[in-house]
A and B are shown apart, each in its own frame.
Chain A
Amino acid sequence: MNLSKVFRVAGREFASTAMTKGFIIGALVMPAAIGALMPLIIVLTMSAQPPADTGTVYVLDRSADVTGTLSDRLAPENVEARWQERFEKVKDVTKRMLPSGQEGTLDQGIANAKSIIRYPNFRVIPAGSDTDIDELKEEMQAQVAAEGKARGDIETVLAIIEIDADATQKVNEDEGYGGFQVFLRPKLNDETIGEIRDGVKWSIRQRRYENAGINRTQVLEISEVSERDSQEITAEGEKKAASEFTNFIIPIVSLVLLLIASMTGGQYLLTTTVEEKSNRVVEVILSACSPMELMTGKILGQMFVGLSLLVVYSWLGIFALIYMERQDLVSLSTIVLIFVFFILAYFMFASLMAAIGSAVNEMREAQSLMTPVILLMMLPYFFFMPVIRAPNSMLSTVTSFIPPISPFIMIMRVASNDPPPVWQTGLVILVNAVAVVIFLWLAAKVFRVGLLMFGKPPNVRTLIKWIRMA
């Protein structure tokens, strides 16, 4: 094999795929742009919030016990105070997650949120216990039908609350407490509805505590158990324990990175191969280099396409982790293994693509042969949950040794919080290396025969015949 020809083919392959506007925009600029636009999108969705609801809430309190507490709870000044408190809490939590030196941005963000989020303004009107609820409902219905009342009008009936007679006092000791029901005007803000229901629940509970003679503050204090961040005592010393979230995120990101990089390269390989064949340029090229040189060059060229994607995306991921000061979540060995497994997975996938591309006359015919390959590539997704839950179970271990899905399963195990022993990783790499050689060898046979075959699109049986023939 003439290496300079191989590299020449690889160079053209890479240039014609990766150095095009479409690729740079689609694969590199778009994700970056989406990332940059994310805050803008959030601001836009938030600013699209409807104005705050203002209006009347009727309370039909059959227990004649809750109205006072509820009126107080829903009073405008108390609603506002609770929202302010909520903002402060969000600010505290966020501050702990952000790296130091970002308080200015945080204050700005909270101020923005305060100006955007509108909490409702209620007027609570107690209805006499002998009021017919249907009358209230009819009033609300008439208002909704007339559409006359604007959102800002305090006369607008927002809700009717019906509280059961036994909501706060048991009538019969053997049975539970009664409850309540809310009738809402359509299209209210989520904040308004939440405020009303939580208000009723809170007030009913408050009355139950008081009637039972229990100190609510005391109950809250008793139920609150504080816990500091868990630590793992490792051989190297104490370190922050991985949370449910981090257990998940690193393996799935590694898997997706691997899949995207190897599938992108493979897909492009299929397209360019089919193109060369349907263009009939392939025979011109074959007069200058052998089919093996052509195939090797093309596979290498597209490998660099996938590799450049992998480098850019993994660099972005590492950057994000550094920004969140959680670079401890991935180890250098995981990153190195992502690249190793990429090469192995890509070569197997690319062999299949090269074989298919050389066998068909046009993209349309490739579809039927592609289906099994795509299904194969979907398999790692199905194994995601069981593998993450138990990275060293029998299922995880066995599937991680079966090419061509082996690299995808193995990267999840390696990136999990319970990585497999090093000898397994080494053995998996060895098994895959052998598989790569077999895949390439078979693909080369189909490639040699297929390239100059025009006419009836082949099926799998024909492909096997070609393998025997070559």
Chain B
Amino acid sequence: MSQAVSMQGVRKTFGPKVAVEGIDLSIPEGAIYGFIGPNGAGKTTTIRMIMSILFPDRGELSVLGKKSAVESKDRIGYLPEERGIYKKMKVGSFLMHMGRLKGLDRSGLKPRVMEWLDRVDLADVHKKKCEELSKGMQQKVQFVASVLHDPDLIILDEPFSGLDPVNMRLLRSLIDEEHGRGKTVIFSTHVMHQAEQNCDHIVMIHHGKKVLDDSLDVIRKRFDPRALLVEPIEGTSRSHDVALVEGVAHVTAIDGALEVVLDQGVDPQRAMRSLLDSMPMNRVEIKRPTLEDIFIEIVSGGKRGADAEQLRAELFAETPEQEEGDS
């Protein structure tokens, strides 16, 4: 399968600050990739380099078989994180302008705009000025602007930020639809469960370096947990007894349940059986790691407990939309 995007040893610095450090990447056509990482990790810089808005200091890059995106801009749809809109322009004219800039012919452009507006439930706003729309509506208009010209490669930088759950679902289904039509989709997010819901392949970026690049299934298997989640009928007060069960390394209480971390080399199936035998349980299950857990594990070098929790708080605290600025 040919590659939609490939990068080798790409590095980008801004003055003394290294934004991206030697990233290798290859994204096959038709894939749906998620770039994840905390704010300021280098996701936007990587995407801007793919878009040829920034140019790498070092390294090789090819997009849709061309040396740079400059030659194939019309085949790429891009929703930047810093999205803007011409406030005084009417929604319809803005989309027509973007369509024409992307090389679409005037003929058939208007019906196409109307059709897309209809698909995002904005059929009646094309005569309104952009500034009259709500932020969420503007965001949908911007999404339409990025896919209007039927691009083969769709790059969405933090597409879900600021959307309500209904529109988030709408956007997700539209992305799935494009992916279903064989388009390559790359999107970035710092909210990792969004990536888990949409992507089949994850690229994790931290401090400008790629720390993970695998399909979601493989990642899940590789980070197969040595952790279980148990809920004794008698409540979490029995944690001391749980800790005495064979193969259990330590126990932590979380949200009315107990997280049980197993010793190295212990088979989770057998541990579950022993736990069930030791006392009556409401629930015993394997704790599936979230991408966030995996990420924490990677960047903390396998640390657990308080250290990991502190790191989690630092990296994923729901801060108000941070500007990534030039990172």
Chain A interfacial positions (CB closer than 8 Å to B)? 4-5, 8-9, 12, 16, 276, 279-290, 452-455
Contact = CB atoms under 8 A, between A and B. Distances in A.
B88 A8 contact: no
B83 A288 contact: no
B321 interface: no
Interface in B66-123: 70, 73-74, 76-80, 82-89, 97-98, 100-103
Interface residues of B, number: 33
14 contacts: A8-B101, A279-B85, A279-B87, A283-B53, A284-B78, A284-B83, A286-B53, A287-B73, A287-B78, A287-B146, A452-B326, A454-B326, A455-B325, A455-B326
The 6 closest A-B pairs by CB, nearest first: A281-B84, A280-B84, A287-B78, A283-B80, A279-B84, A288-B101
Contacts of B207: none
A453 B100 contact: no
Nearest to A277: B84
A232 B103 CA distance: 61
Contact of B89 (A16, A282, A284): A16
B48 interface: yes
B99 to A, nearest CB: 9
Contacts of B88: 16
B76 A281 contact: no
B145 interface: yes
Nearest to B14: A453
Nearest to A283: B80
B142 interface: yes
Nearest to A4: B103
Interface string B15-45: 0000000000000000000000000000000
B84 A283 contact: yes
B51 interface: yes
B101 A289 contact: yes
A284 B326 contact: no
B84 A290 contact: no
A45 B183 CA distance: 74
Interface string B131-142: 000000000001
A290 B70 contact: yes
A9 B97 CA distance: 9
Secondary structure class of chain A's binding surface, majority of residues: helix
Nearest to B87: A279
B86 A279 contact: yes
Contacts of B253: none
A16 B88 CA distance: 8
Contacts of A453: 326
Secondary structure class of chain B's binding surface, majority of residues: loop
B326 A285 contact: no
A8 B97 contact: yes
B299 interface: no
B112 to A, nearest CB: 16
A454 B48 CA distance: 15
B323 interface: yes
Contacts of A276: 84, 86
B186 to A, nearest CB: 13
Contact of B76 (A5, A8, A12, A287): A287
B54 interface: yes
Interface-central residue, B76, B100, B145, B326, by most chain A CB under 10 Å:
B100
A443 B222 CA distance: 52
B102 A288 contact: yes
A76 B211 CA distance: 106
Interface in B259-287: none
A329 B163 CA distance: 66
Contacts of B83: 280-281, 283-284
A455 B73 CA distance: 28
Contacts of B79: 284
Contacts of B323: 454
Nearest to B82: A280
Interface-central residue, A8, A9, A287, by most chain B CB under 10 Å:
A287
Given A454-B325, A455-B325, A282 B84 contact: yes
B304 to A, nearest CB: 38
Nearest to A455: B325
Contacts of A283: 53, 80, 82-84
Interface string B307-327: 000000000000000010110
B53 A284 contact: no
Given A279-B84, A279-B85, A454-B326, A284 B97 contact: no
Contact of B54 (A9, A288, A452): A452
Contact of A284 (B52, B73, B98): B98
Contacts of B70: 290
Interface-central residue, A8, A281, A285, A454, by most chain B CB under 10 Å:
A281
Given A8-B97, A287-B146, A452 B53 contact: yes
Contacts of A5: 101, 103
A283 B47 CA distance: 12
A9 B53 contact: no
Contact of A288 (B84, B89, B98, B142): B98
A286 B146 CA distance: 12
A8 B98 CA distance: 10
Contacts of A281: 83-86
Given A279-B84, A287-B80, 14 more contacts: A4-B103, A5-B101, A8-B100, A16-B89, A276-B86, A279-B87, A280-B83, A281-B85, A284-B146, A286-B53, A287-B78, A288-B74, A452-B54, A454-B326
Contacts of B326: 452-455
A270 B255 CA distance: 56
A281 B146 CA distance: 12
A286 B48 CA distance: 10
B55 to A, nearest CB: 9
Given A284-B84, A452-B53, A289 B73 contact: yes
A455 B17 CA distance: 15
Contacts of A280: 80, 82-84
B116 to A, nearest CB: 16
A432 B113 CA distance: 45
A287 B51 CA distance: 7
A329 to B, nearest CB: 42
